[in-house]
């Protein structure tokens, strides 16, 4: 016999804002951004691959070209009823079963939420730095780095709230009579539960698209593009962060992905 259980929908996620510092060698101050990141590199022309250390720094100049903010505060009141059926076959007894399900829930509480988006399209200062590649044959190449932002976006949101939730799951169970193929009532199962809680949550995201070059000593510059994505989240008792850089410059594919909690 199978049983089926549904949980109360998670209708409330609460947010609180994180903006600076990280355990991933990232520094962000007012108007200044600096990264030191490990990653991987592949040379498509030769098939060589290796690890890298990418360091660059720069800043954001001027007011955003686009800004948007949003906020709300108020009660939460969700109610719902669902009706559905599901079937299964018991191979041991060769009996087919059916459940007619009624699922109802109610969620009440209070929430407070705000978000902010800023974007820069206008020309920005070049981000300068260094890329050191250690190849699989043991050799090392050092490049100077110059990256020009094409697009910068910052997004943050924050909030808090409380909820009280309850649900009831009622299943009417039937089995199919083999000769008549009629459904025969067997029993009714009822399950109910409730939940209450409060909390806060925050996210911040920095996204930058770069066009730029890298250059090793005595060689012509190599052109390409990179994209940075920096995400931070703070929940009541834990934090999460992801920093990634990906793109292609000259014959090199560059990939960086770091996460931490």
Q: State both tokens at 15.
A: 């947010």
Question: Tens digit of pLDDT for each residue in 28-43?
Answer: 444 689 999 999 999 9
Phi, psi torsion values for 56, nearest 5 degrees: -155, 155
CB 128 within 8 A of CB 57: yes
Q: Which residue has the tokens 């850089």?
A: 245
Tell which phi-psi region holds residue 155, choosing left (phi > 0), alpha (psi between -120 and 50) or beta.
beta
Above pLDDT 90, what percent of the chain? 83
CB 224 within 8 A of CB 215: no
| Nearest C-alpha neighbor of 85 from the set 183, 192, 191 | 183
CB 31 within 8 A of CB 59: yes
What sign does the CA torsion over 147, 213, 26, 42 have? positive
Question: Could you state, in order of their start, the residue ranges of all structural domains in the chain?
Answer: 30-80+109-162+200-260
Question: Tens digit of pLDDT for each residue in 200-240?
Answer: 999 999 999 999 999 999 999 999 999 999 999 998 878 99
């Amino acid at each position: 016999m199978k049983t089926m259980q549904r949980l109360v929908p998670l209708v409330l996620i609460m947010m609180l804002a994180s903006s600076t510092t990280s355990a991933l060698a990232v520094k962000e101050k007012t108007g200044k951004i600096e990264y030191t990141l490990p990653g991987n590199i592949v040379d498509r022309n030769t098939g060589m691959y290796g690890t890298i250390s990418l360091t660059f720094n720069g800043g954001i100049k001027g007011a955003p070209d686009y800004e948007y903010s949003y906020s709300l505060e108020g009660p939460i009141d969700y109610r719902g009823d669902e009706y559905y059926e599901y079937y299964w076959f018991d191979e041991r007894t060769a009996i087919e079963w059916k459940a007619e399900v009624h699922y109802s829930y109610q969620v009440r509480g209070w929430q407070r939420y705000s978000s902010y988006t800023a974007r820069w399209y206008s020309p920005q200062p070049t981000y300068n730095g260094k890329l050191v590649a250690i190849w699989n044959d043991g050799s090392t190449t050092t490049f100077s780095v110059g990256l020009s932002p094409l697009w910068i976006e910052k997004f943050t949101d924050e909030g808090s709230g409380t909820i009280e939730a309850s649900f009831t799951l009622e299943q009417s169970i039937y089995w199919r009579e083999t000769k008549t193929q009629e459904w025969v009532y067997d029993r009714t199962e009822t399950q109910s539960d409730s939940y209450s809680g409060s909390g806060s949550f925050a996210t911040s995201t920095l996204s930058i698209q770069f066009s730029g070059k890298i250059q090793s000593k005595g060689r012509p510059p190599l052109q390409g593009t990179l994209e940075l994505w920096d995400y931070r989240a703070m929940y009541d008792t834990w934090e999460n962060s992801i920093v990634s850089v990906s793109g292609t410059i000259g014959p090199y594919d560059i990939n960086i992905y770091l996460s931490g909690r």
